Amino acid sequence: MSLARQITRTYFELSNQSDMPQIAGLFSDNCTYYSANLGFFIGKPDVIAMQTEFHGQYQTLAWTIDSIAEIKPNVVEIAFSFKARLLDGTEQNRQGREHILIVDGLIQHVAVGL
């Protein structure tokens, strides 16, 4: 398994645990993050703040990687399923696509929903 795919899998595993300190360690300081639902975030502090707020909305959450491919060197495309329960008890189930760019062993950019 390539380093890019390994980092991506680790990112999803840590996201399922909502382990923000470990997730932060996977991102470069000048990373960027784009979500079709949430918008654009620039720099590790902004990205981690967004993720912390996102995770805080849920009692439980879990991403499953349905498929993973390194479509170019260090660019990983994931099809995922997301199942969660909001704090008010509402259940969410959805699928999506995510692209992750790895540079020098760290996540440089994430694009969700493209």
What confidence tens digit (pLDDT) does each residue in 82-92 have?
A: 999 999 999 99
User: How many separate domains does the chain show?
Assistant: 1
Report the mean per-residue pLDDT for the chain. 97
Distances (CA, A) of 59 to 13, 32, 83, 93, 98: 17, 27, 11, 14, 23
Percent of the chain scored above 90 by pLDDT?
Answer: 96
Among residues 7, 19, 16, 3, which one has the least CA distance to residue 80?
16
Q: What is the pTM of this model?
A: 0.94
Tell me the residue range of the domain where 75 lies.
Answer: 3-112
The CATH number of whichever domain residue 66 belongs to comes to 3.10.450.50
Among residues 100, 95, 61, which one has the least CA distance to residue 81?
95
Point out which residues pair with 60 in neighbouring strands.
Answer: 85
